[in-house]
Amino acid sequence: MNKLRFAILISIVTVSGFSQGMLLPVIAILFEQQGYPSSLNGLHATGLYIGVLLASPFMEKPLQKLGYKKMIIIGGFLVMASLFAFPVLQSFWIWFVLRLLVGIGDHMLHFSTQTWITSISSDQNRGKNISLYGICFGLGFAAGPILTGAAAVNPNLPFIISGFISLVIWGLAFLLRNDFPEHQVSGTSGSTARFKDAWKLSWIAFLPPFIYGFLESSLNGNYPVYALRQGFSPENVAILLPAFAVGGIIFQLPLGILSDKFGRKRTIPIVLFIGFLGFTAASFTQSFILLLVCFFIAGMVLGSTFSLGLTYMADLLPKHLLPAGNLLCGICFSIGSISGPVIGGLYMELIPGSNFFYIIAMLLLIVIGVYAFQKNNEQEKTAACKQ
């Protein structure tokens, strides 16, 4: 793998994570201070992920025609232009549209970089490479909420800072040499049959991306509102949220290497169970220090769920189905991201005084049960498909 190409790709992913990590808590806090109800605040947070979901069915053919580089450049420009538009076009619903555009641009970036990296990674280092991908996204996502403090100085400042950082990294994409998916992909790629085959062979691998999307959007979109109502300050929130991401960053690579050694099917249920224990413990305390520890422990394991699911999908699918599998990962991530803020917002509004962490713990418990009762036949079916 070309080192410069890989470095540029993961730099782009880092900035994408930064913009997402900034948008969710900054806008949530601004709307809470302006008096919007939590349900409407949560609905607005889904805009970015609705954009991802709307764009997903239309990604494969442009990628085959334009190549990885051009897709990355177009997606990066869309994100950058939208970030600079937030301070200029200040309206509740216009901001929702801008979030849609950021979601579409981010999905173009992620789909292109994910497919590029998974297609050129070997079976022996796939978990490591995807873990590095996840680390860089997590680094950006962890840094994003720090700009909630800048919003206290000037509400427009987080968008301007994020826009200028995106501009700098976007320019690096022009240094890449364009490349295209394998020729064999271009014939029937994107057809209903291909998506059906990818889903049939690897549906179990799409649950971790769903969980990661739910966690990412609900923690950053709903939890700031919940924390403010519990008496925590925006500065406290700006520390708690990165603690989850930092935990994921530190343990992303070790978990990726361990999953290469012991297998994703064994690693993922253990990761989910430890995360369940972390959020269950968080539901029993109001101490800032203990919450910080719980967030960090949960992030240690659950911060890797997207990359583990993506790698598990690549294990289960033949190479010509990887573009379809990557899109399905993105779709499941988007569904989780959309449902997280909506369910969380309605939960806090309909059950006043309820504990926010109960929803997350229950979701994790359900998925752990699915893995526990899943039949042990994925590897056999995949081997038969690859022969």
DSSP state of 58: G
- pTM summary value: 0.74
Q: How many CB atoms lie within 10 A of CB 23?
A: 29
Query: Chain-wide mean pLDDT for the chain?
Result: 84
Q: What is the CATH number of the domain that holds 19?
A: 1.20.1250.20
pLDDT score recorded for residue 286? 86
pLDDT score recorded for residue 4? 83
Rounded to an integer, what distance in angstroms lies between the CA atom of residue 245 and that of residue 216?
9
pLDDT score recorded for residue 183? 52
| Residues constituting the chain | 387
pLDDT score recorded for residue 378? 46
| Enclosing domain of residue 247 | 3-386
Domain count, the chain: 1
- Residues 6+ positions from 235 with CB-CB distance below 8 Å: 149
Rounded to an integer, what distance in angstroms lies between the CA atom of residue 107 and that of residue 101?
10
Which region among 68-77, 173-182, 186-195, 326-335 has the lowest average model confidence (pLDDT)? 186-195
Nearest to 129 by CA among 296, 7, 270: 7
pLDDT score recorded for residue 102? 92
pLDDT score recorded for residue 352? 72
Instruction: Quote the percentage of the chain above a pLDDT of 70.
Output: 93
Helix/strand/coil for 285: coil
Grade residue 386 by pLDDT with cuts at 50, 70 and 90. Answer: very low
For 262, the token pair is 């012991």
Helix/strand/coil for 1: coil
pLDDT score recorded for residue 188? 47
Report angle CA 237, 243, 248 to the nearest 5 degrees: 140
Q: Which residue has the higher pLDDT, 47 or 203?
A: 203
pLDDT (tens digit, 9 = 90+) per residue, 256-304?
Answer: 888 888 888 889 999 999 999 999 999 898 889 999 999 999 999 998 8
DSSP state of 56: G
Grade residue 387 by pLDDT with cuts at 50, 70 and 90. Answer: very low
Rounded to an integer, what distance in angstroms lies between the CA atom of residue 53 and that of residue 137?
19
Q: Which residue has the higher pLDDT, 264 or 364?
A: 364
Up-side HSE of residue 361: CA atoms within 13 Å toward CB? Answer: 14
- Give me Rg for the CA atoms of the chain: 20
